[in-house]
């Protein structure tokens, strides 16, 4: 979505296209790339637009374009990778010769992991509460006075069993897009750096299923960069 502000203090990746193209042609690329970009190019020599994505925790994109130059700045490598591929595809179709320069900031990876971390934890906490509440409900079915020996925390989980299940209905980390954010970030960095993508997705899924926390996902991404 469009945003009025752009935080330039974030760790930014910079993608730049230069070549013999008009500002209208650059605008057409954006029209095909981003939502709510009108088909008609505004009457200006240089255009700058800012965007923010809530789905991945709030990453940003700034686009500045004029005749012969288009610059994309984002704190998310996934965004940069998608734009590089899509714009390159369009310039090839239009037979426009362009030079492509891409400056990656590795600090942006940890930054993106921090942004999405609360969403991952919220999903995992809901799933954990659902499992615990179900186990406690089964325990209650086999004990007449189950509350006499439950801790206050577990007693609350049991009392809240129905509301927990209502809250968890339709919540699935696989379907939420949260898992895809991590997978896409891993794949985008590998692609931009020319590294192998083999085993990346499986490693993320294993971590989510077994031992996710912020430190562990940081380690996973750092080890993947060194492979």
How many CB atoms are closer than 10 A to CB 2? 11
**pTM (2 d.p.):** 0.85
**Structure-token pair, residue 129:** 């509460």
Nearest to 186 by CA among 211, 203, 206: 203
Cα–Cα distance, 140 to 135 (Å, whole number): 9
Residue spans per domain, the chain: 2-105, 108-226
pLDDT tops 80 at residue 45: yes
Is 48 within 8 Å of 60 (Cβ atoms)?
Answer: no
Residue entry with tokens 């900031």: 105
Residues 118-169: tens digit of each pLDDT: 999 988 888 888 877 888 888 878 777 887 788 888 888 788 788 777 777 7
- For residue 53, pLDDT beyond 80: yes
Output the CA torsion 27→30→34→37 (10° steps).
10
Structural fold of domain 2-105: TATA-Binding Protein (3.30.310)
User: Which range in 24-38, 94-108, 140-154, 186-200 is most confidently predicted, on average pLDDT?
Assistant: 94-108
């Amino acid at each position: 979505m469009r945003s009025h502000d752009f935080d330039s203090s974030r760790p930014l990746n910079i993608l730049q296209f230069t070549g013999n193209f008009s500002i209208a042609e650059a605008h057409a690329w954006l029209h095909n790339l981003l939502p709510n970009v009108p088909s008609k190019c505004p009457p200006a020599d240089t255009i700058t637009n800012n965007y923010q994505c809530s789905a991945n925790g709030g990453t940003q994109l700034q686009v500045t374009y004029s005749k012969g130059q288009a610059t994309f700045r984002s704190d998310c490598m996934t965004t940069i990778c998608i734009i590089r591929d899509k714009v390159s595809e369009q310039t090839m179709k239009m037979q426009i010769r362009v030079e492509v320069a891409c400056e990656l900031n590795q600090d942006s990876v940890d930054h993106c992991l921090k942004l999405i971390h609360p969403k991952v934890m919220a999903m995992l906490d809901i799933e954990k509460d659902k499992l615990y509440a179900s186990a406690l409900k089964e325990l209650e079915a086999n004990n007449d006075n189950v509350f006499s020996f439950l801790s206050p925390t577990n007693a609350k989980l049991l009392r809240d069993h129905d509301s927990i299940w209502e809250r968890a209905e339709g919540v699935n980390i696989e379907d939420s897009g949260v898992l895809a954010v991590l997978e896409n970030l891993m794949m985008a960095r590998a692609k931009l750096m020319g590294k192998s993508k083999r085993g990346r997705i499986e490693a993320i899924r294993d971590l989510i299923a077994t031992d996710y926390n912020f430190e562990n996902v940081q380690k996973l991404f750092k080890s993947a960069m060194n492979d």
